[in-house]
Structure 1
Amino acid sequence: MEQLVKTATRIGERLVANGQTVTTAESCTGGGISYVLTEVAGSSAWFERAFVTYSNDAKQELVGVKEATLLAHGAVSEDVVAEMALGARDAANADFGLAVSGIAGPTGGTDDKPVGMVCFGWATKAGVVTETCLFDGDRHTIRRNTIAHSLCRLLSYLEGEK
């Protein structure tokens, strides 16, 4: 946890320096990313809000994921996290939207979408970048790795903006 909070602190410092904000739309992490971000004192200056969109209905109602996208690709897909990230960013009027959806297990996996598969989306004013990772381990480990990866990629992007 200590390393995650250090990463979140660096994210906050970069966002404050740039006068920017971030929001999250989380499924498989159930708010874990926003929990880590708000462990940083003063995060209200740069963390706008969180959307925990665990169900498909929540994804549609809170961050504007299209039913057609869910039907065509499933909740765990880059198409869905792209819409989640963009929808969260727009709903929060934030500079960055970060979204995750995955299968943390121990059940729910299929041959096409195994336990440990997580899709990520990072939305900016310039557009959205998506990625899919496959993490090993139990539910706790998969969720922790998802949180770490999402924050590390956001920090990498922010530091690249220097």
Structure 2
Amino acid sequence: MSGGDHSRAKLVDVELDETIGRSTPDVEHERAVAIFDLIEENSFAPVGDDQGGPYRLKLSLAESRLVFAISREDGASVVTHILSLTPFRRIVKDYYLICESYYEAIRSSTPSHIEAIDMGRRGLHNEGSQTLLERLSGKIDIDFDTARRLFTLVCVLHWRG
């Protein structure tokens, strides 16, 4: 982005297309929280967009792919990127399994056991975030913290409750 104005290299809105589908109230709440966290703090810029943001992101699903439709704040289209979800299947599945173990451990385990499970959970979350960062490389410039928030959203898009 020319001019180096990083305050404009950000998302100000994230919308889930109807292709994502709706779920239970708990899942919808988790999705809303993930979107709020992402919008609240992020670094996001499509590669090669010299005009700059801020940006709106509309996420949709098409044939097991996640579609990133990026537009400017005024709605003018910038670019659309399509990302295969296949590389995330194992990570998301493992992440859910360890999250279930974590929530179960909170109810009945020792603090050291809970901490060990939480370290594993954070490790898997970091792995998913790194994979997302790599898959978006050359398409969208994001920092690791934004990748973490975006990976959280990818996870809750898969969660059926």
Q: TM-score, normalised by structure 1?
A: 0.26
Bigger radius of gyration: 2
Structure having greater relative contact order (Cα 8 Å, sep ≥ 6): 2
| Structure with a larger share of its residues in helix | 2
Q: TM-score, normalised by structure 2?
A: 0.26
